[in-house]
Amino acid sequence: MRLRWRQLLMAAALALGAARGAHAQTLRDPEARQGFYISAGAGVNALATRDEGESDGTATGLAITLHLGEMLSDRWGLGLAIEEGGASGQGITRSIGGLTLEAQARLRGHLAAHGGVGLGVASAKDPARAGDESHGTYGSLLTAGLSYDAFLTNRRTGGWAITPACGLRAVPGGDVTALAGVFTLSITWWSGLPARELR
């Protein structure tokens, strides 16, 4: 498992470096969503799990998220995302989380669509089961969603933003499958581009 995490991080670093080198020579019009970004936030998720084919129902709980990466062009970006969420209800404790390689596409203005794939984990613990067992699955984490950056600063490029986002997280297959609908509110910092890369 450690080797798979390292391979994913290495692939992301190489992809970011190669894409940055290819696009560094193209001059771009200044705007807020440019350069590197880091975003951290929290919110709520509605999390549904199935344990060995039987539904555990749905419960709500806390979700946290951390995103970092770079806009490689005016439209496309690439980065890493750490996702985690949990919920308790009907006596069952559920969780979902993991690390994804995430792409984003600017749809219009500061609205963006996100999609990610990576390594994830899902678990469910039901004290009513014999032996008070906790079941879990390691596998793929799939994510999709929308975000909007409401900028708090008025810079030529880059700045601080409040970022509401909604989306889905899924860990399919295995003993435990999980699906979460998520709403988060994050603080995002955009580095902007240096003057030599702007028109």
Instruction: State how far Cα 188 lies from the chain centre.
Output: 13
Residues forming beta bridges with residue 112, ordered by sequence position:
106, 147
- From residue 194, alpha-carbon distances to 50, 71, 159 in Å are 49, 13, 13
Q: What is d(CA 87, CA 92) in angstroms, rounded to the nearest whole number? A: 8
Q: Determine the average pLDDT of the residues in 137-145.
A: 93
Which amino acid is present at 73? S
Cβ atoms of 76 and 109 within 8 Å: the answer is: no
Q: What is d(CA 150, CA 90) in angstroms, rounded to the nearest whole number? A: 37
The pLDDT score that the predictor gives to residue 9 is: 60
H helix runs in the chain, sequence order: 2-23
Q: What percent of the chain lies above the pLDDT cut of 90?
A: 58
The pLDDT score that the predictor gives to residue 8 is: 58
The mean of the pLDDT values for the chain is: 87
Domain ranges of the chain: 2-24+35-197
Q: What is the CATH number of domain 2-24+35-197?
A: 2.40.160.20
Q: 78 by DSSP, 3-state: which?
A: strand
Q: Determine the average pLDDT of the residues in 145-150.
A: 98
Residue 20 has pLDDT above 60, yes or no: no
